[in-house]
A and B are shown apart, each in its own frame.
Chain A
Amino acid sequence: MNWEQYIFEGKPFEGIYIFDVHGHVGAHKPFQLGGYDADSVAKTCRRMNVDGVVVSSLPALASDWKWGNEEVAASVDAYPGLIWGYASPNPFYEDCDITPYLDLPGFVGVKIHGDMQGSTPVNDPRYFPTYEVANERGLPVLFHAWLSAEVRAAADVARRYPNTKIILGHSGMTARDTALEVARTCDNIFIDTAISSTYDNAIEVLVDKVGADRVVYGSDICFFDCIHTMGKIALARISDTDKEKIFGLNARGLFSL
């Protein structure tokens, strides 16, 4: 496949299954987002031939978990088969139970962002009831994993709940080496590609260190535009087979689609 031609002519890839494991809907107080509702996410996905995206709600992570998870449910309903849902708990509410959302069609995993929830470590016991449900159902859990401590806490969850599939969002970002280290020791850890101010050859390093089977396309839409991450994968010096795994084939298995 001539990936370069598609990018430099501004055309979306054709004949490639693309599934984005790291998306959001909803506004975010600290800065402006260039379109944050389901319509905006769906429009971009369709324009770029993205077959599916799993979203969590920023308001669910930041303020009102019920309101936010309802927002995800509405997004999934509006774009069935294109937008899929992560349910997100809030550790500060004892009555928080996201199981009813996980029972809904189109909800396929859990998103946890401890940093947005009072910098709560993701291995805080208040999150354990959620992990038990995910473990029982074999659901993926996507973590915001930016710093070394966050990566290590996520790895602790991976070891406690071996039937879950842990996705380290942002590849550990500033803690890439830690992310690679824990991925090598935990078979149920995967790494996503949602890195904002990244460097070149990052995809090559991920594939070299943990194998293409463990790397999944994540964009962090609607924080980031999804298009620059696509280019990083498409123009990486890895095989076409590995690119296709990262773009969507791995996620298809991960989410049992």
Chain B
Amino acid sequence: MLRFIDARCMLGERCIIREGDPNTKEAILELMDRCHIEKAIVYHAMARESELPAGNMALIGETAGDDRFIRQWCALPSYFGEYMSAEDFFDAMKQHHVTSMRLLPKTCGYSLRPHSIGKLMDLAAQCHMPVFIDLGTELTTDESYDLCKMYPEVDLVFGNSGYRENRRLGPILEQCPNFYLGTGNYVAHCGIKLFCEYYGAERLIFDTGLPTGSATAAVSLIGYAEISDEEKALIAHGNIERLLGEVRL
């Protein structure tokens, strides 16, 4: 049976919740069990919604002793002494077994250009660390092209793509080999099949967007995609395992 690793999951209390949302770690684990999701790459809601440094540290506490969660920290370029330096950030990630980072340029109000996050991205390239960012909420699909070109040595995983993006995604996929797409919200009719046919299953990364996305929908999208079992396995877990396996902190 297909097994999954979720590349986009958030733990911790959020400001806005809906009835039925899996709002606790236990609720997320229950959904992971139901959906055959072995592990999830997680960042902390507090890091995105309020205080990034405290959120990154809260993640360490929340995931302590639980090997189903793969830690991800949210990045913040440090100026005016706001946060630790890029070098210290990577040292701390190594110390706390954090294997990927997430960019929040809109949420946290910083630039993605090299004068701003260049040091962080240089270190990510040196460590072969994949960097995650959401389309829509953090940057446009067009801006994702610029990001890929500015940092060609960094593997970039773009989540939260909707079903309307193919005309924008196509040229980026053709010209940016470091562009990977999260599948959770990519629900276009025959979208996964078309993507694999033209750009290869190697560029797709399974994700759910929990707790606001849907794990049940996300696993079905891959389980029922009209592609080979080998392609499903790559998307469900193989590609992200390969990317994380290359990280050298």
Interface residues of A (CB under 8 A from B): 4-5, 7-10, 12, 30-36, 40, 44, 47-48, 176, 196-202, 204-205, 221-232, 234-236
The yes or no answer to B213 lying at the interface (CB within 8 A) is: yes
List the count of A-B residue pairs having beta carbons below 8 Å apart.
138
Q: Across the interface, which residues of B come within 8 angstroms of A222, CB to CB?
A: 189
- The answer to whether B220 touches A200, judged by C-beta atoms less than 8 angstroms apart, is no
The yes or no answer to B84 lying at the interface (CB within 8 A) is: no
A223 to B162, CA, bound (A): 11
- The answer to whether B215 touches A200, judged by C-beta atoms less than 8 angstroms apart, is yes
Report the interface size for chain B: residues with CB under 8 A from the other chain.
Answer: 45
Q: Within the complex, which residue of A5, A197, A202 is in contact with B20, where a contact is CB–CB below 8 Å?
A: A202
Q: Within the complex, which residue of B190, B193, B224, B226 is in contact with A231, where a contact is CB–CB below 8 Å?
A: B224
- The answer to whether A221 touches B213, judged by C-beta atoms less than 8 angstroms apart, is no
Q: Within the complex, which residue of B2, B187, B232 is in contact with A196, where a contact is CB–CB below 8 Å?
A: B187
Closest residue on chain A to residue B193 by CB atoms: A34
Q: Across the interface, which residues of B come within 8 angstroms of A230, CB to CB?
A: 220, 224
- The answer to whether A34 touches B220, judged by C-beta atoms less than 8 angstroms apart, is no
The yes or no answer to B194 lying at the interface (CB within 8 A) is: yes
Interface residues of B (CB under 8 A from A): 1-2, 18-22, 31, 34-36, 162-167, 185, 187-194, 209-221, 223-226, 229, 232
A228 to B188, CA, bound (A): 10
- The answer to whether A32 touches B20, judged by C-beta atoms less than 8 angstroms apart, is no
Q: Across the interface, which residues of B come within 8 angstroms of A227, CB to CB?
A: 220-221, 223-225
Q: Within the complex, which residue of B36, B190, B219 is in contact with A34, where a contact is CB–CB below 8 Å?
A: B190
A177 to B221, CA, bound (A): 26
Q: Across the interface, which residues of B come within 8 angstroms of A30, CB to CB?
A: 164
Q: Across the interface, which residues of B come within 8 angstroms of A221, CB to CB?
A: 189
- The answer to whether B220 touches A197, judged by C-beta atoms less than 8 angstroms apart, is no
- The answer to whether A44 touches B189, judged by C-beta atoms less than 8 angstroms apart, is yes
A210, chain B: closest CB distance, angstroms = 13
Q: Across the interface, which residues of A come within 8 angstroms of B166, CB to CB?
A: 31-32, 34
Q: Across the interface, which residues of B come within 8 angstroms of A202, CB to CB?
A: 20, 214
Asked, given contacts A199-B18, A202-B20, A204-B20, whether A7 binds B193 with beta carbons under 8 Å apart, the answer is no
- The answer to whether B220 touches A234, judged by C-beta atoms less than 8 angstroms apart, is yes
A32 to B213, CA, bound (A): 23
